[in-house]
A and B are shown apart, each in its own frame.
Chain A
Amino acid sequence: MADLSVDVRVQYPEFELSVAQVFPGSGITALFGPSGCGKSTLLRVIAGFERRASGRVHFGEEVWQGGRRRLAPHLRGVGYVFQDARLFPHLSARGNLDYAHKRAADVPAHYGFDDVVDILDLAPLFDRRAAQLSGGERQRVAIGRTMLARPRLLLMDEPLAALDTRRKAEILPYVSRLATAFDIPIIYVTHALEEVTQLCDRIVALSAGQIVATGGVAEVLERLDLADVQGRFEAGSMLRGHVAAQDTALHLTRVELGGFALEVPEIGLTPGAEVRLRVRARDVSLARSRPEGLSIRNILDARVLSISEEPDTAHAELLLDLGGQNLRARITRAAVRELGLVQGAQTFALVKSVSFDRQAWPRADAVAPP
Chain B
Amino acid sequence: MTLPDLGPLFLTIRLAAITTVILLIIGTPIAWWLAHTRSRARSVVEAVTALPLVLPPTVLGFYLLVFLSPNSTIGGLWLSVTGTTLTFSFLGLIIASAIYSLPFMVQPLQGAFEAVGRGPLEAAASLRATPMDAFLTIATPMAVRGYLTATVLTFAHTIGEFGVVLMVGGNIPDRTKVVSIQIYENVETIDYAAAHGLAAILLVFSFTALLSVYMFNRRFPVHVG
Contacts and interface: CB of A to CB of B under 8 A. Distances in A.
Contacts of B123: 80, 82, 86, 88
Interface in B104-124: 119-120, 122-124
B204 interface: no
Chain B interface size, as a band, is 20 to 34
B189 interface: no
A89 B127 contact: no
Interface stretch (A25-33, A98-106, A278-286, A309-317): A98-106
Contact of B128 (A74, A82, A129, A130): A74
B223 A146 contact: no
Given A49-B122, A80-B122, A90 B222 contact: yes
Contacts of B128: 74, 77, 100, 103-104, 107, 149
Contacts of A84: 119, 225
A36 to B, nearest CB: 20
Contacts of A39: none
Interface string B183-225: 0000000000000000000000000000000000000001111
Interface in A52-91: 72-74, 77-80, 82, 84, 86, 88-90
Interface in A96-131: 99-100, 103-104, 107, 129-131
Could you say which of A79, A88, A149 has the most chain B C-beta atoms within 10 Å of its C-beta? A88
B142 A146 contact: no
Interface string B118-158: 01101111111111011001100110100000000000000
Contacts of B120: 86, 88
Contact of B122 (A73, A99, A146, A149): A73
Interface string B64-82: 0000000000000000000
A265 to B, nearest CB: 37
Contacts of B130: 74
Nearest to B119: A86
B110 to A, nearest CB: 20
Contact of A89 (B122, B124, B131, B225): B225
Interface in A210-262: none
A136 to B, nearest CB: 17
Interface string A273-306: 0000000000000000000000000000000000
A145 interface: yes
Nearest to A86: B123
A10 interface: no
A204 interface: no
A47 interface: yes
A100 B142 contact: no
24 contacts: A47-B122, A47-B126, A48-B125, A49-B122, A73-B125, A73-B126, A74-B126, A74-B128, A79-B126, A80-B122, A80-B123, A86-B123, A88-B123, A89-B142, A89-B223, A90-B141, A90-B142, A90-B144, A99-B129, A103-B129, A104-B128, A149-B126, A149-B127, A151-B126
Interface of A: 47-49, 72-74, 77-80, 82, 84, 86, 88-90, 99-100, 103-104, 107, 129-131, 145-146, 149, 151
Given A73-B126, A79-B126, A84-B119, 7 more contacts: A73-B122, A82-B119, A84-B225, A89-B222, A90-B222, A99-B129, A149-B127
Interface of B: 119-120, 122-131, 133-134, 137-138, 141-142, 144, 222-225
